[in-house]
Amino acid sequence: MRERDTAGTGMTSQRTQDRLVDALARQGVGDERVLSALRAVPRHLFVDEALESRAYENTPLPIGEGQTISQPWVVARMTELLLEAGDLRRVLEVGTGSGYQVAVLARLVPQVYTVERLGSLLRKARERLRQAQATNVQTRHGDGFEGWPEYAPYDGILVTAAPETLPTALLEQLGDGGRLVAPLGGAGYQELTVVDREGEHLRRRRVAGVSFVPMRQGRA
Ligand code: SAH
């Protein structure tokens, strides 16, 4: 993969990027920390060059293997929901995909861990995270249904592929006072769900309708 222009020009310029972030703010993303992280991470670095000029549209885009980089509004909303939980030191993301969501998280949380089941996507994501200088991210080629027990408990867990129901291992790896944000449901349509852990008690609420690729078992 050749070294990409981090700064960008024209359709990938900072101005184009700022315009997208302003639009997200108008659509109700209120957390300034999230908005500045979105201004700082060049989304065009996380898509193939052929799609670069569309990187600052508020839309998901294909990243290969039938997977997609999430829509910026969804990334912003999920990040904002996670940060509401309070002081986050350690966060786990399930579904690295392009690496974009985790690069955003890396600007807001000291230690970020991410798990991806597809080796080919993970290889590209690692390279992109290096280019974006996200040095506080650790990646793992594994099945997100198992979480990443070695670094648990997490203050926050963000799931970016849709399971039908809440994966038990992820709930077990969520620390006391921690929050998990995940799309729950079948193919095509899911409920973005927030789960808060207070001791042994789990409180759960639905916040929006979303559409993610399904979470699948096993590594490939
Ligand atoms: N967060 C990503 C979104 C990627 S789409 C981004 O910002 O680009 C969802 C990703 O979840 C896909 O790459 C898919 O391969 C991955 N995925 C699906 N099931 C998984 C599982 N069980 N464990 C880990 N990753 C999974």
Question: Does the beta carbon of 116 lie inside 6 Å of ligand 1?
Answer: yes
CA–CA separation, 211 and 67 (whole Å): 12
The two tokens of residue 79 are 């990040």
State which amino acid sits at residue 185. Answer: G
Which of 67, 74, 27 has its CA nearest to residue 182?
A: 74
Contact between residue 41 and residue 103 where contact means Cβ atoms under 8 Å apart: yes
State which amino acid sits at residue 93. Answer: E
Q: How far is the CA of 187 from the centre of ligand 1 (A)?
A: 14
Which entry of 70, 98, 120, 211 is annotated as an active-site residue? 70
One digit per residue, pLDDT tens: the chain, 220 residues? 556 777 788 899 999 999 999 999 999 999 999 999 999 999 999 999 999 999 999 999 999 999 999 999 999 999 999 999 999 999 999 999 999 999 999 999 999 999 999 999 999 999 999 999 999 999 999 999 999 999 999 999 999 999 999 999 999 999 999 999 999 999 999 999 999 999 999 999 999 999 999 999 999 9
Report the CATH fold assignment for 65-210. Rossmann fold (3.40.50)
Question: Does the beta carbon of 145 lie inside 6 Å of ligand 1?
Answer: yes
Question: Does the beta carbon of 114 lie inside 6 Å of ligand 1?
Answer: no
pLDDT recorded at residue 3: 65
Bridge pairing between strands 61-64 and 137-141:
unpaired
Question: Does the beta carbon of 144 lie inside 6 Å of ligand 1?
Answer: yes
The two tokens of residue 75 are 């990334």
pLDDT recorded at residue 6: 76
Close Cβ partners of 78 (under 8 Å, ≥ 6 residues apart) = 70, 101, 158, 160, 181, 192
Active site includes 211? no
What pTM was computed for the model? 0.97
pLDDT, one tens digit per residue, over 78-111 is 999 999 999 999 999 999 999 999 999 999 999 9
The two tokens of residue 4 are 């990409």
Q: Which numbered atom of ligand 1 lies nearest the CA of 145?
A: 22
Let me know if 104 is exposed, middle or buried by CB neighbors in 10 A (0-12, 13-18, 19+): buried
The two tokens of residue 138 are 């650790």
Q: What is the chain's length? A: 220
Q: How far is the CA of 65 from the centre of ligand 1 (A)?
A: 11
Question: Does the beta carbon of 195 lie inside 6 Å of ligand 1?
Answer: no
What percent helix, strand, coil does the chain show, rounded to 5? 35, 30, 35
The two tokens of residue 72 are 């910026």
What is the distance, to the nearest Å, from the Cα of residue 185 to the centroid of all Cα atoms in its chain? 18
